[in-house]
Structure 1
Amino acid sequence: MLTRIEAIERIVGVLDDEIVVCNLGFPSRELYSIKDSSRHFYMLGSMGMAPSIGLGLALSQDRRVVVLDGDGSILMNLGGLVTAAAQAPKNLVIVLLDNRCYGSTGSQCTYSDLIDLGDVAGSMGFNVIRFHEEPDFKRVLQEDGPVFAHVPVKPGNADVPVIDLSPEEIIERFMDEVRS
């Protein structure tokens, strides 16, 4: 099983011009430390809102939108998944990096070991892709959406620095990218 940062490295390795929305806290810090890009929206707050932000972006443009989210965040706002499934944009991919804990707030356990979030997403209408070994993210990007890729990862956070961009810098350069 991969660590979260290893999974994010593999995802970034197959991206081309996709827009990325990344869950707050350590996932955003890990993505930023691997590869900073104006195509990446690093969430600094609003836990549970990454799928909703990704949905809005997917509905507003043709580029593929990849949402990197965690089980704790997904569980905080299942309504965002329901709405994304109901709107069914073909260019939306939600990658669940499932470490079975709230990794950015002290690694308290979530219920993802009791509730299969892939089954939940499938019942909503997502095209669910499950990975138990080495994830094939190229395959994920080739599927019609909305896609829900369930990627189990080891608990723990990488030792990475904080993002040294202000919230204003993050949003301004991201919006410039989306508009281009």
Structure 2
Amino acid sequence: MIMKRYDAIKKIITDLDDELVISNIGFPSRELYGIKDRNNNFYMSGSMGMATPIALGLSLALEEKSDDRKVIVIDGDGSLLMNFGELITVYAQNPSNLIIALIDNEAYGSTGSQETYTSKVNLSNIAKSIGYNEVYYVDARNSVDNIDIKQYLDKKEPVFLHIKVKPGNTKAPIIDKTPSQIKNRFMESINKEN
């Protein structure tokens, strides 16, 4: 069985509890919404390349409040390539509570599955060359069983989890909440006491 982004997202979200999740625009957000909608999920809309920067800002704000919750960003190879400086910024800011779960399907999945350059460029090697200590590559094209997000939750520096999957979208539902509703309920979940 060929594993796609949907399968990786399902495996990640199933293993989470109160962690805060920022999801990349388009189909990743729709798939997350269809798998497990929760107040702790922030579904990005209309800002390709900005999921990781938003997650970074949130993780730094939580650190400032001594809030020990983890922030997991479900990002994609196309978005990362669009805003490549985000990897350097995360490394330089060095948050202790951020996990970048980069789902690499070698395609711009939400715009027609045009090929990205990640079939030729290894994003894990780039993260290592920047200086990340916690870089993990998971080939999930045949099975998502080796994706275990729990093992990274106790890390005290940024984690770059590079998950390789096959391209393809599901018939994920349209998110039936406005951007304001998504933002407001997410902010309420952030401000609740742990």
| TM-score, normalized by the shorter chain, greater than 0.5 | yes
Residues 1:53 and 2:54 are matched in the alignment: yes
Structure-2 residue corresponding to 1:23: 24
Residues 1:79 and 2:49 are matched in the alignment: no
Structure-2 residue corresponding to 1:44: 45
Conserved? CA contact 1:99–1:153, under 8 Å: yes
Report the 3-state secondary structure (helix = DSSP H, G, I; strand = E; otherwise coil) of the residue aligned with 1:131: strand
Structure-2 residue corresponding to 1:112: 118
1:57 Cα deviation after fit: 0.5
Cα RMSD between the aligned structures?
1.1
In the TM superposition, structure 1's runs of 4+ consecutive aligned residues that sit over 2 Å from their partners are 140-145
In structure 1, stretches of 5+ residues that fail to align are none
**2:153 & 2:104 partners in 1: Cα distance?**
19
Alignment of 1:67-106 (within 5 A): 67-106=73-112
Conserved? CA contact 2:97–2:155, under 8 Å: no
**1:105 & 1:89 partners in 2: Cα distance?**
31
Residues 1:149 and 2:161 are matched in the alignment: yes
Q: Percent identity?
A: 52
Structure-1 residue corresponding to 2:143: none
Conserved? CA contact 1:100–1:112, under 8 Å: yes
Structure-1 residue corresponding to 2:181: 169
Instruction: Normalising by structure 2, report the TM-score.
Output: 0.89
| 1:128 partner amino acid | V
1:136 Cα deviation after fit: 2.1
**2:51 & 2:72 partners in 1: Cα distance?**
10
Equivalent pairs counted in the alignment come to 180
In structure 2, stretches of 5+ residues that fail to align are 141-145
